Amino acid sequence: MSNQTFSILAVRGLDWKGLGYLISIASVLLLGAIAWPQSEDAGWHLPVLIFGMATSIIGMACRYKAHLDQQRELKKAEAEARRR
């Protein structure tokens, strides 16, 4: 197997949607770190920031699970179609 063939296979095997969600999660954490309230900020800032970050990450996790479920169903349907 040539080096070029190996790199093409590696890219095809990459779950781009999963990678996108991981990058989005990292961006939420980085933006949250920048927005972290200072001691003089209102007391409600911290809980709202944490809740916003958590709901964003949970939403991405739900969408990724739905993606995995859809991929599993597609593979199942393809396998069933090949058996016929």
Q: What is the reported pTM?
A: 0.72
**Cα gap 48→50, rounded to integer Å:** 6
- The pair of three-digit structure tokens given for residue 5, joined into one six-digit string: 């063939």
Cα pseudo-dihedral 31, 32, 33, 37, rounded to 10:
130
Query: Domain locations in the chain?
Result: 15-83
**Cα gap 72→78, rounded to integer Å:** 10
What pLDDT digit, counting tens, does each position of 20-61 carry? Answer: 999 999 999 999 999 999 999 999 999 999 999 999 999 999
The confidence band for 13, taking pLDDT boundaries of 50, 70 and 90, is: confident
